[in-house]
Amino acid sequence: MIERCYNEKYTCYRENGEVDERWHSFSNFIEDCENLLGYNEMIEHSNVKFTIDKDYIKEGNQIYSKDNCCFLPQTLNAFILNQNKKKRL
């Protein structure tokens, strides 16, 4: 998240939003993860790749935080991203 949002090497880094100040501390991030939607499913289904998503709960959200993020299976997240791209065309 930090890399995607703040590293100028990523061509779209400015479009990736920002990370809540609390999550600039890795220990705070880990502490909050256990309470995110999808966390238990991620633990139960360790054979499935999950991603953290900032705008599934609040569409268009630009802040990674404990109030806005959830864990989604990577395939579902990719499907949603693809559908959103189709809507914009």
Any idea where the domains of the chain sit in the sequence?
2-88
List the one residue out of 5, 8, 9 whose CA is nearest residue 65: 5
Instruction: Label residue 73 by pLDDT band (50, 70, 90).
Output: very high
Mean local confidence (pLDDT), 45-68: 94
Read off the pLDDT of residues 27-51 as tens digits, 9 standing for 90 and up: 999 999 999 999 999 999 999 999 9
- List of E strands, 1-89: 18-19, 50-53, 63-64, 70-73
Instruction: State the Cα–Cα distance between residues 70 and 37, nearest whole angstrom.
Output: 5
